[in-house]
Amino acid sequence: MVNLGRVTDAQKPVFYYVFQLTKKIVFEVQYYYCGGNRYPHFSTQANVFNQPKSDWERCGQGQKEVFVGFEAAMEFYKKWDYCHCKDLSREQYSEMVWDLECLTVYYNHLFSNEREFSFWDKAEFTKRRPKGIRAIKRDKMALGI
């Protein structure tokens, strides 16, 4: 999880999340700086692997089509899409971090505050079994939601 200890508007911590929706679908959420660390950048992606997981069947901005049936991912996307490619206030950033933590209840995830995950990291990650109802209930109780 992102450490919000001393977050300022000037430099909010970078994060990269990859959520496994199925064995073929991942949802990526990123907040990082580009242009010599001067420009904050927030983005989401919906990516679908082809059958042998050697390439993407679909990737990028197809969330509305890909997230059908994945309520938690769709809610996050609809809530935060207006911030795509924009800076976030400290309050927005903190709220988004909480929303991301809530997504971890529903989906297996990878997290890093240092680097983006490679295609092959994601392909290997999706070999896991997606979260079942018992795990979701357990994680909801642990998080208090």
In-domain check, residue 81: yes
In-domain check, residue 38: yes
Q: With a cut of 50, say whether residue 136 has pLDDT above it.
A: yes
Mean pLDDT of 24-43: 85
Strand locations in the chain (E): 15-20, 25-34, 39-49, 56-58, 108-112
Question: Given this model, what pLDDT does residue 37 score?
Answer: 64
Mean pLDDT of 99-111: 94
In-domain check, residue 128: yes
- Residue 106's CB is within 10 A of a number of other CB atoms, namely 20
Question: Given this model, what pLDDT does residue 9 score?
Answer: 52
- The total number of structural domains in the chain stands at 1
Q: pLDDT confidence of 60, banded at 50, 70, 90?
A: confident
